[in-house]
Structure 1
Amino acid sequence: MIRSLQLFWLILERLHLKKFLFVFLLWYVIACILLWILDPGITTLADGFWFGFILVTTIGFGDFTVTTLPARIVAGILGLYGDLVITFLTGAITSWFFEKFQAFRGHSVGAFVTQLEHMDELSNEELQQVADKAKALRAQKEAGKQTSA
């Protein structure tokens, strides 16, 4: 389980999504507070967070609607940002499943990169496996160059 989370974290790093998600969470909190302040229909902070959640997830129960122009602007920006986050997370999760499948088959790029980054922690057998994998990748690259020429 921990390795799966490490792989997902590595994918988020490779796709440069960690900062994007942090900024989104920060904006989500600010936007929900602003919605609570700017719209008279949202009477509690909890309702502001609930409205933000159903807006970002595109559930849209309809139990809250914003009525003031500033609140509509904040809600629109939050909704668009939420759509981007869901889209990017879907891609990251797809990459994670692909890497898990490739690892199952023994061809995971993410696992190979992780091994390279932590070479000082590998056993002699694991180092030999990494070296064999690098040689095989180089042979594939050379074979690809010869067939394309």
Structure 2
Amino acid sequence: MTSQTRTSPMTSSVCGGGVGQYRANVIGRLGKGVAMNKLRTLADVLRQAGFARITGLFLIFYLLCSTAVWLSEPTTLTFGDGLWFSFETVSTIGFGDIPAETPVARAITVVLSVISIFYIAMLTGVAVNYCNTLIKMRQKDTMARFMDDLEHLEELDRDELADLSRRVREYRRRQR
């Protein structure tokens, strides 16, 4: 059998190639959707974690705390200062340019700090989940391509067979 047997009618007439060219064309088309696929995956991970709702609640809480700090120290702070102070607290930067002087502002700072630690931990968890999902997707894609090659061994040319053999050896080495 020749390598021409597995080509798509569309790609063989346009590209005139065999299995390798067909795969290159398919991968090229798929590559255009990779960024979109990653965005969809990120949206799925965020949705599964309920992160959009949590982020909305966190932003409302952040604005309420900023307002409360501003109202508890109206003579020294503007609303913008309250937002900045809350940002320093959430991000744990704490420049010290705006101190919490009243007991109310200090209590708000403690509560905002604790809540933001949990929020940042969730953000980290979502990022790890996203990376793990991408790795699993890549593994599935690799396995699908590998299985496709195995199902069509007789159609592969010498170079493609050598590449397949190399990938099998590499896989075995990693499994040890």
User: Residue 38 in 1 paired to residue 72 in 2?
Assistant: yes
Does 2:111 correspond to 1:77?
yes
Q: Which amino acid aligns with 2:58?
A: F
Partner residue, 1:24 = 58
Rounded Cα–Cα distance in structure 2 between residues aligned with 1:49 and 1:3: 36
Q: Which runs of at least 4 in structure 1 moved beyond 6 Å after TM superposition?
A: none
Gaps of 5+ in 2: 1-34, 142-176
What is the identity, as a one-letter code, of the residue corresponding to 1:77? Answer: V
Match of 1:117 in 2: none
- Give me the identity figure in percent: 26
User: Who wins on radius of gyration, i.e. which is larger?
Assistant: 2
What is the SS of the residue equivalent to 2:128?
Answer: helix
Q: Matches of 1:55 and 1:14 in 2, distance apart?
A: 28
Count of equivalent residues: 107
Distance 2:75 2:128 in 1: 38
Matched, 1:60 2:94: yes
- Whether the 8 Å contact between 1:42 and 1:48 is mirrored in structure 2 is no
Q: Deviations over 1:16-35 (max 9, x none)?
A: 33322211110001111111
The one-letter code sitting in structure 1 at the alignment partner of 2:71 is I
TM-score, normalised via structure 1 length: 0.65
